[in-house]
A = this chain, B = another copy of it.
Amino acid sequence: MSRPTPLPFAALPTRAFHATARVRFGDCDPAGIVFFPVWFAMANAAIEDFFGAELGIDFHALHATRRIGTGFAHAEADFMAPGLMGDQVALTPLVTRIGGASYALTLHVHRAEAELLRMHLVTATTDLDARRAVPIPPDLRAALAAYQGRCADA
């Protein structure tokens, strides 16, 4: 399990979407750095913004109205540098795989040019009422594919 080499912010795809967040006092632990589970909550918030602002899909309506869940089948993070109180960070999701009932994102977290951590997240789409897997809804699939294409452009 070798650790990734930090990727400078400038090396991200030009057309990638960036969510932003600020590290809060309450996000930090007695070691003075972001308590690691908070990064996963920030990632989820970044994906909410990504859905609404980049994919054109209202994350909250998807859950509350359409009753489609986007829970994680897998979540992992490599921590390269600590986040500190007051840090402004950019969270950049990139689509790495679009399957039948799941898709995968890599999410880079940067403070200025420095990559602090990198996540790999596999989301399984589910019917929230029946609690079973369902195919990725066509509008979400199309939006993910279009974004993936935009990021691949030179």
Contacts and interface: CB of A to CB of B under 8 A. Distances in A.
Given A30-B25, A30-B85, A37-B44, A73 B63 contact: no
Q: Which DSSP category, helix, strand, loop or mixed, fits chain A's interface?
A: mixed
Q: Report copies per complex.
A: 4
A149 to B, nearest CB: 23
A26 B31 contact: no
Given A25-B48, A60-B25, A31 B128 contact: yes
A69 interface: yes
Contacts of A28: 29-30
A38 interface: yes
Contact of A79 (B30, B71, B77, B131): B71
Interface string A42-57: 0011001000000000
